[in-house]
Amino acid sequence: MASGSNPGEPPAVLRDRCVTGIHGLDDILGGGIPRGNSVLVAGSVGTGKTTLVLEFLVRGAERGERSLYLSVTEASEKLLQNLATFEFFRPGLIEQGMLTFLDVPLIYEKLGLDREEMTPEEVGLLVRTIAGLAAELKVQRLVLDSLTSVCYRIREAERIRDFMLRLGQALFAQGCTTLLVSEVGESPGRLSLYGVEEAIVDGVILLGNTRRQGDIIRVLQIVKMRGTSHSRAQYVIELTPIGLLMAPHLKGGRMAEA
Ligand SMILES: Nc1ncnc2c1ncn2[C@@H]1O[C@H](COP(=O)(O)OP(=O)(O)OP(=O)(O)O)[C@@H](O)[C@H]1O
Ligand SMILES: [Mg+2]
């Protein structure tokens, strides 16, 4: 059963949704991500985080929502080459300004953020710069891939909390829905590197690997999503050239709870 709604209670006022356009995901979220939410996309290496967030932006751009990808770990040029292998991508989206790729290391360089550890003032400057870019480009969808890499340069839990709260508030005020990629190790239950990130965000989508009859399969689970009821079941996903495909996880021949 979907969590978050009690029988007999009047229906809550529904928040406007950001329709992800990703197969199956909007159904398990009751129509999409509540608009303006900041959502952690957490998972260990190779679990499909970048693929999911790229598809989220492309599907949004196709729906007329301007989208911005802030890349920290991979050069945009390389990402674009990978993106071109997906059938749902049209280069026209970039030419029309619907989809923009920016490299965060270049932003650091422009701002003169060359220290290994950012000061509180520098963290403030980074928040204002990202929020300013989002406003200037009028984006409704933003991805930071990865939040973890930025946190490595903030280091202190208190400052990470401050960075995330201020960024989340600024982007919410602009009606921008944000996906923040969180790189985690294989240890079960872990959602972020510093352990504070998942408490601040409005939602957490967890990607992972699991074994079924000797095969390693990819799985996705919504751990939390403020502003909507949602399934907490685990879904099997496949990353294909036509995009992410999702199906309920069959456990011992039974359909997983959805
Ligand atoms: N064009 C594609 N078509 C089909 N599958 C793909 C394609 N591109 C990537 N994949 C699959 O997706 C997997 C995971 O890719 P992705 O880069 O999204 O993971 P990630 O979680 O972001 O990894 P990392 O933590 O290293 O950044 C790849 O190992 C590959 O199996
Ligand atoms: Mg990645």
What's residue 212's pLDDT?
81
Q: At what angle do helices 120-136 and 104-111 cross, to 10 degrees?
A: 120
What is the domain-level CATH number for residue 160?
3.40.50.300
Judge whether residue 256 has pLDDT over 50: no
- DSSP three-state, residue 78: helix
Domain tally, the chain: 1
β-strands 243-248, 234-240 pairing: antiparallel
User: What is the tens place of the pLDDT at every residue in 19-77?
Assistant: 999 999 999 999 999 999 999 999 999 999 999 999 999 999 999 999 999 999 999 99
Ligand 1, atom 3, residue with closest C-alpha: 241
Q: Is residue 100 part of a domain?
A: yes
218 lines ligand 1 (CB under 6 A): no
User: What is the tens place of the pLDDT at every residue in 182-214?
Assistant: 999 887 788 998 899 999 999 999 999 998 888
Residues with CB under 5 A from ligand 2 (ion): 49-50
Q: Is residue 97 part of a domain?
A: yes
Average pLDDT score, the chain: 91
**What's the predicted TM-score (pTM) here?**
0.92
| Mean pLDDT computed over 83-93 | 94
Q: Is residue 240 part of a domain?
A: no
Nearest atom in ligand 1 to 183's CA: 25
What's residue 8's pLDDT?
55
Domain range holding 127? Answer: 37-206
Task: Name the residue of 237, 239, 240, 242 to mutate for ligand 1: max ligand atoms within 8 A of Cβ.
Answer: 239
